[in-house]
Amino acid sequence: MPFLDMLKHDILSSASNLSLDLDRLWVNLKMSLLTLDRSSLSKSKGKMPPGPRGLPILGNIFQLPQYQWFRFTEWKEQYGPIFSLNMAGNPVIVLNSHEVVTELLEKRSTIYSDRPRFIMAHEILTGGIFVALSGYNALWRKLRRAGQEGLNVRASEKFQPLQQEEARFLAYQMMKNSRDWDDHMRRSAASSILRAVYGWDPIQNSDDPLITRINDLAHRIIRAALPGAYLVEMFPMMLYLPNWMAKWKREGLEWHRKDTEMFEGFMGKVKTEMATQGNKPSLAASLLSQQVKHDLSPKETAWLAGTMFAAGAETTAAALSVFMLAMTLYPDSMRKAQREIDSVVGRGRLPTFADRSHLSYLRAMVKEVLRWRPVAPLGLPRRTSEDDWYNGYFIPKGTVVIANAWAMNRDPRFFPDFDEFRPEHFLDENDNEIDIPGTHGQGHVTYGYGRRMCMGMHVANQALFINMATILWAADINPTKDDKGSPILPSKDACVDEGLVVRPVAFPCTITPRTADAMAMVMQAVWSELGELNE
């Protein structure tokens, strides 16, 4: 690619005195070439939504920073709830309001449910059966139906006992060693999801090689999906190179073989346990029992179950880290939730799911955690499958569509003080829940939209509720202090983009039992439920 290499050299040379992230600019350039749809270069049938002016030919590729949702939200104020970008000739539209999302992604979902093509991440590494990256086609529909059946509201209730056990073990670990609270949350989320997916025994160590193995899979897929990671995305004809000429292809196919072997092995173990021990509640058991009904092959079934873990563990852990940030910065909200828990649960037992309907403030707190700092502020992009018109603007077929959850979760019409953490956003003066239009009763859009809404959202809501209830029943969360005794407050805005999720930058805090017997009660519950602890 001599032309691109020369272009990169010229860009780096001319911008040497600018305080810019040049590598990020180059990635944005590759992104535009990656997604280039030559049909979009033909004469437009109409005017696209307004947007920022860009450079000739290259368009807006050098105007996008690393955390794009911040810039998109700024442009919303200038250009409105829907604006367009030109990525070197490839059209992109960004949606920033509930009304536009409802109209396009919900009411016109047949046009707006497709995905851009991910050759390395989807077609090679995951064999074209990774449901989150799949195009809007027959395979996606049958995978989606099968997943929904195993994870809907009623089906999710069977996971509540194991989620309660995991919440108590997490609270115990955090009080015992608050320094490593983030590692404890990652372990707990991974263990909980693995148990829900496969019905396995809990994982008690954060460095368990199984967690590492599957997290590596998730990171490998996300890295492959990043713009500019592989030339084949810019030159799809490279896909037809023989394996001996394409190391990237050879290695990708080998990873797919290994991951398939792993996931099919997991399903084989579940199938054996079903035959010898009965049908323990798990997503894998549900998929196996309904495999013929949903017309799924053994490989499709195995990958559907496996990717539910890969997608769910880190997002749940990231949301819990947002909860910890909020409790550290907003102690009044923490104490209000604790008072509600004490009034409903008391101090003689630990919280259970039976308390959920009586804990309105805590339910609102779950929503506020997901609204205040969404772990996927932009989600995965979509692609239009047909030409469309909206409010007089033309949206051509093949347009990449980005829904800005960050902006919608901070809509000042519903959240006037949107940057503050306040569960009261979802409660009226009588502590009755308030519905936010266009959110399907969730109060936020962090779980997505339309036919692509997160399949695991009910399991996730349950996990967040019981973990937050148990931690707040058992412990106080406070900032650490410096040598003079002054609190060291973490940054409210600093975040880390880990590819799959965005989470707060790691910070220290202190986690101490609220009462003298809290630790003993939690430890006794853990001992009775999970047996002897590995410490």
Binding site per annotation, positions for heme: 454
Residue 239 sits at φ, ψ, to 5 deg, of -60, -25
Q: Which of 54, 60, 62, 49 is nearest to 94 (CA)?
A: 49
Annotated binding site: 454
* Cα 67 to Cα 502: distance, rounded to the nearest angstrom: 10
Check: CB of residue 395 under 8 Å from CB of residue 387. Answer: yes
Does residue 469 contact residue 506 with C-beta atoms inside 8 Å?
A: no
The CA-CA-CA angle for residues 159, 160, 163, to 5°, reads 90
DSSP assignment of 330-387:
-HHHHHHHHHHHHHHH-SSS---GGGGGG-HHHHHHHHHHHHHS-SSSS-S-EE-SS-
Pairwise CA distance, residues 366 & 443, whole Å? 10
Q: Are 64 and 28 contacting, i.e. CB atoms less than 8 angstroms apart?
A: yes
Strand partners, 402: 94
Question: Which residue's entry shows tokens 């959240």?
Answer: 415
3-state secondary structure 112-168: CCECCCCHHHHHHCCCCCCCCCCCCCHHHHHHHHHHHHHHCHHHHHHHHHHHHHHHH
Sign of CA dihedral 356, 358, 361, 367: positive
DSSP 405-425: HHHHTT-TTT-TTTTS--GGG
171 close to 471: Cβ distance less than 8 angstroms: yes
Reported as type and span, the H/E element at residue 91 is strand 90-95
Burial of 50 from C-beta contacts in 10 A (0-12 / 13-18 / 19+) = middle
Reading the block at residue 129, the tokens are 């059966």
The amino acid at 274 = M
CA-CA distance, 303 to 204, in Å (whole number)?
25
Tokens of 368: 């506020």
Please give the structure tokens belonging to residue 243.
């394996």
Q: Is 392 helix (H, G, I), strand (E, B) or coil?
A: coil
Q: Which of 486, 504, 191, 453 is nearest to 318 (CA)?
A: 504
d(C-alpha 175, C-alpha 330), whole Å: 20
